[in-house]
Amino acid sequence: MVKKVEYQVLRTIDKVEIRKYPKLLLASVSDLSDNDAFSLLFNYISGSNQKDQKVDMTAPVLTSEKIEMTAPVFSSKSKMSFVMPAKFTIHNIPKPSNPNVKIEELPAAKLAVIRFKGYARQKDVNKYKNALLNVLAQNNIKTEGEPVLMRYNSPFAPGFIRRNEIGIKVVDG
């Protein structure tokens, strides 16, 4: 069973949770297709690193999402990241063998998150992203950065059991 990132729910507004996340360590790949990025990251945790060490899979898998109408505010890069197990730090994580895989630390943060089931098709992602941003705007909650798609299940899991979330960093709320 895949370990999930722990978080604390601070409050709920409609179907949106405001969560506090700890500092996270990520293995990330930018500007590749989802399939190519997933393959590189999976190879990394399968032992394609300088220590030939397997790294446990942790959910969710993070993918950046673009919002065209606010493109000057949000990054235009596409990125996929695997969250590394909490036992690792930036100092003891196995170094990637592939230069496309980057290790990065995210500071602790508050995220607003909305959950949905099924396949993360672009129309569904857009629907829930808009719903999330609308709830935040209606409640005068300011955001920072770009939304991320968080997928919790294997690509082989059937749609009816898949858990997905859209999250965005909040600066108040």
Q: What one-character-per-residue DSSP string does 22-70 give? A: --EEEEEEESS-HHHHHHHHHHHHTT-BTT------EEPEEEE---GGG
At 75 the pLDDT is 33
- 80-113 burial by CB neighbour count: b if 16+ within 10 A, else e? bbbbbeeebeeeebbebeeeebebeebeebbbbb
The domain defined by 3-170 carries CATH number 3.30.390.50 = no
92, 150 in Cβ contact below 8 A? no
At 154 the pLDDT is 82
All structural domains of the chain with their residue ranges:
3-170
At 173 the pLDDT is 59
Instruction: Quote the CA–CA distance of 37 and 156 in Å, as a whole number.
Output: 16
pTM of the predicted model as reported, rounded to 2 decimal places: 0.86
| Token duo for residue 50 | 């300088």
Spell out the residues 6+ positions from residue 140 whose beta carbon is closer than 8 angstroms to its own.
Answer: none
At 34 the pLDDT is 84
Mean pLDDT by 10 residues, the chain (173 residues): 88 97 94 90 95 93 62 50 94 96 95 96 95 97 94 88 95 75
Instruction: Quote the CA–CA distance of 34 and 15 in Å, as a whole number.
Output: 27
Q: Which residues pair with 35 in a beta bridge?
A: none
At 168 the pLDDT is 96
